[in-house]
Amino acid sequence: MTHLAASLYAAIPAHPFNDLAGWIEQVAVLPVLYRAGLMQWSELSFGWTLVAVYGVTQMILAYAVCVPLERRYPIERWATAKPVVTDVFYTFLARVGILPVMTFVIFYAAQVQLDGFLADRGYVPPMLETMIPVLFGHPIVTFVLYALILDFTDYWRHRLSHRFGVWYALHAVHHAQRQMTFWSDDRNHFMDEIVSFIWFMVVGLLIGIPPLQFPLLILMLRFVESFSHANIRLSFGRFGERLLVSPKFHRAHHALLGAGQDSCNYGAVFPFWDMMFRTADFTRDFGPTGDHTAPEAMASGGYLAQQWSGITQVARSLRG
């Protein structure tokens, strides 16, 4: 077992996920790293594997919750669900492939570099607890605050992605889906994912989120986002709609817009920010989704076709 793996085992309460991640690391991850000559990453292999296990678990949980509801209370029924298959690939790539690497390995390396840089110059590395001392000894409250801060900053990231044409050319991959399901949350252009990760990473570094908590926070928030994208005719009611983003609330954001209508409901998990900045709309019904300005390849093409379509749209946007 690596030094980091041992420290993570000590830091995290024992549970089956730890044992499973440790077994996968030993029989699959470390041998691959050894054969590829990448054993310098072995110190991080347990953390990456553990986050990947959480990602798979989250996918299974989302499937178990959303599929029965989508079948029982669908907003739409389609003759073919072929475009959804590509969204499944996006989800697997994000939750098991790219997400663990980016949100653990890269974030961990960035935090080590930042902390070392600040310590060498006599500065204390940033921590939310040092900014708000009352949080010391209250890890659950601190974790919730991390989630609120990340969601608040994600509101502005999302809203800005609709404000700038070049950025929206990438984000349009997400909005082009006309058969929106809980799989659609991770349907994003890879360049848009990089922007999002950098955005979250900077915020995480500024408030000192621990490296292992960072990917867990992202996965937790994305579980709610998966549910809000689901093809479920569901509202949380007058008060519930204002506490947590529901399928009805978020579908209004994805809905095809009529003449004179503006986009709304940018919040990913909490609708507070839309209410605070007057972008909330609780009146729209379960309308069709998609983006009529997006190329057909972006709506119904495979993964590579959608990615290439995003790049060509960026090029067109830059040419004006």
Task: Indicate the pLDDT class of residue 4, thresholds 50, 70 and 90.
Answer: very low
- Tell me how far apart the alpha carbons of residues 226 and 205 are, in angstroms, rounded to a whole number: 25
Full domain range(s) for residue 124: 3-319
**Ordered DSSP codes for 76-133:** ---S--HHHHHHHHHHHIIIIIIHHIIIIIIHHHHHHHHHHHHHHTT-PPP-HHHHSG
Can you list the alpha helix ranges (DSSP code H) found in the chain?
3-11, 16-24, 30-35, 42-72, 82-92, 99-100, 107-120, 128-131, 139-163, 165-175, 190-207, 213-228, 237-240, 247-254, 272-276, 296-300, 303-319
Report residue 283 as tokens.
């009146």
> Which of 67-71, 74-78, 103-107 bottoms out in mean pLDDT, i.e. has the lowest?
103-107
- Identify the pLDDT of residue 12: 46
- Tell me how far apart the alpha carbons of residues 44 and 108 are, in angstroms, rounded to a whole number: 9
> Which of 2-11, 156-165, 276-285, 303-312 bottoms out in mean pLDDT, i.e. has the lowest?
2-11
Identify the residue with better confidence: 34 or 41.
34
What share of the chain in percent tops pLDDT 70?
92
- Tell me how far apart the alpha carbons of residues 260 and 266 are, in angstroms, rounded to a whole number: 18
- Tell me how far apart the alpha carbons of residues 308 and 191 are, in angstroms, rounded to a whole number: 11
Cα separation values, 130 from 135, 137, 214, Å: 8, 12, 18
CB neighbour class for 59 (10 Å; exposed up to 12, middle 13-18, buried from 19): buried
Handedness of CA 278, 280, 283, 286 (dihedral sign): positive
pTM for the whole structure: 0.86
Task: Indicate the pLDDT class of residue 171, thresholds 50, 70 and 90.
Answer: very high
- Identify the pLDDT of residue 297: 94
- Tell me how far apart the alpha carbons of residues 306 and 83 are, in angstroms, rounded to a whole number: 11
Cα separation values, 185 from 59, 98, 188, 231, Å: 12, 15, 8, 12
> Which of 29-33, 124-128, 201-205, 235-239 bottoms out in mean pLDDT, i.e. has the lowest?
124-128
pLDDT value at 301 more than 70: yes
**Residue bearing tokens 């003759």:** 79
Task: Dump pLDDT digits (tens) for 209-266.
Answer: 887 777 778 778 888 999 999 999 999 999 999 999 999 999 999 998 654 457 899 9
- Identify the pLDDT of residue 15: 59
- Identify the pLDDT of residue 252: 94
Half-sphere exposure of 40 (CA within 13 A, CB side): 3
Of 251, 263, 264, 272, the C-alpha closest to 177 is: 251
**Hey, is 255 helix, strand or coil?**
strand
Cα separation values, 140 from 81, 130, 143, 144, Å: 40, 16, 5, 6
Average pLDDT, the chain: 86
What share of the chain in percent tops pLDDT 90?
48
What is the number of domains present in the chain?
Answer: 1
- Tell me how far apart the alpha carbons of residues 42 and 31 are, in angstroms, rounded to a whole number: 10
Q: For the beta carbon of residue 113, count every other beta carbon within 10 angstroms.
A: 11
